[in-house]
Amino acid sequence: MSKIRPSKGAPYARILGVGGYRPTRVVPNEVILETIDSSDEWIRSRSGIETRHWANDEETVAAMSIEASGKAIADAGISAEQIGGVIVSTVSHFKQTPAVATEIADKLGTNKAAAFDISAGCAGFGYGLTLAKGMIVEGSAEYVLVIGVERLSDLTDLEDRATAFLFGDGAGAVVVGPSEEPAIGPTVWGSEGDKSETIKQTVPWTDYRSGEVAKFPAITQEGQAVFRWAVFEMAKVAKEALDAAGISADDLDVFIPHQANERIIDSMVKTLKLPESVTVARDVRTTGNTSAASIPLAMERLLATGEAKSGDTALVIGFGAGLVYAATVVTLP
């Protein structure tokens, strides 16, 4: 018989607060057209994107995360000292070590919170949320900060017609804490590594360092392959998340998919047969694809504008490089 004392965590976990930060510079499609042969109409029809935000030198991954996190902590009605864990999902923090989460935890004023980064691309927020839920139920933290943050403008090839218009910068954060009732459903997540070549960094950092390539590494993708995978496979994953939570599409109030492409969003809405009463996040139009930051940023905007309200039931799903995915049903803060 084990002599280990059982954990004493909360029965359930929930999102208690949300915050977002978008860089001050707004970049319209016209700026993108300076370096690629395209048109504003083509970009909008292919992606739905009208503008995106690009960070300046002061708007670092850490700085944007701290701004978003401060708002989330205030929204949750707690203090930074109560945060027991900081999870940061990003692919655009260019220091291999230490994790940017440790800097964020310190500058926010947490009391030596556990802090680490994860790399799960556009599904990173869902991965972080799942880890935070486990920490709270297991009892290793009472409150956990989950951050999705990207400076994808640093990894964008402005001469690549397929991707130059897609990416934006920003940070979104949520505070996850204890709950007396289920408010974060089971996560349906996974990976399809056999498709990893469809979204990837062009070359390893070592090739750039050694001089084998002169062009700084960037993100590239096979657009049609990604589109087909997202539309057909991710709709199935979203349905599995609904089933795992014990609800149907008719029970949903809000749908917050990863803000990759509005055509993908529209196709998923149709495949899932969501009622017209369901509010659908379309933050991609003015924020672009911010990878791990896109879901919390979209969530924050829906609540701020009143399109969604506290207590609403929302389906969230992220998917991207890896290929990886994560979907769950949550109660909005």
Assess contact for 243 and 328: CB atoms under 8 A.
no
Do residues 322 and 190 make contact, with C-beta atoms less than 8 angstroms apart? no
Respond yes or no on whether the N-terminal peptide bond of residue 178 is cis (omega within 30° of 0): no
Catalytic residue among 53, 93, 122, 261: 122
Nearest partner of 266 among 52, 48, 49, 50, judged by Cα? 48
Active site residue 29: no
Q: Are 288 and 167 in contact (CB under 8 A)?
A: yes
Tally Cβ neighbours within 10 Å of residue 95.
11
Structural contact between residues 171 and 12, judged by C-beta atoms closer than 8 angstroms? no
Q: Is 148 helix (H, G, I), strand (E, B) or coil?
A: strand
Q: Which of 55, 21, 51 is nearest to 287 (CA)?
A: 51
For 296, the token pair is 């919390």
Q: Which of 29, 53, 93, 258 is catalytic?
A: 258
What does the angle CA 248 – CA 251 – CA 255 come to, to the nearest 5 degrees? 90
Structure token pair of residue 32: 């993108």
In angstroms, what CA-CA distances link 139 with 9, 12, 18, 157, 204?
4, 11, 22, 44, 39
Phi/psi at 305 (5° precision): -85, -10
261 is annotated as an active-site residue: no
CB 175 within 8 A of CB 76: yes
| Cβ 65 vs Cβ 171: under 8 Å | yes
DSSP 235-263: HHHHHHHHHHHT--GGG-SEEEE--S-HH
Q: Is 122 a catalytic residue?
A: yes
Give the active site residues: 122, 258, 289
